[in-house]
Amino acid sequence: MGCLLPIIAIFMPRVALLLIFVFTNWFSRAFHTTLWPLLGFLVLPYTTLAWMAAMILNNQQLNGLWIGVLVIAFLFDLGGQGHSARRRLARD
């Protein structure tokens, strides 16, 4: 599952979050409440995955490269939502 999970995360981030929730304890290691992962699943899945990777792989610290990864993930999430809104407005 080591190489398959990043591929799934790129194309289907919500499926990756569901697989991570079912098969690992990464949510409990990266988040202290269940509210943030739930909101991340619904609104910002790439950002949630990036935050989880930063917290688990960088010993609960957010610095340097991981800040850049988090910003890029946030921009991907905003881009997906903006594209959906533009398409919805074009239909009307």
Q: Which domain holds residue 40?
A: 4-91
Count: domains in the chain: 1
**Residue pLDDT tens, the chain, 92 long:** 568 888 888 899 999 999 999 999 988 889 888 899 999 999 999 999 999 999 998 888 888 899 999 999 999 998 876 666 667 767 76
Distance CA 60, CA 55 (A): 4
| Predicted pLDDT of residue 1 | 57
d(C-alpha 79, C-alpha 52), whole Å:
20
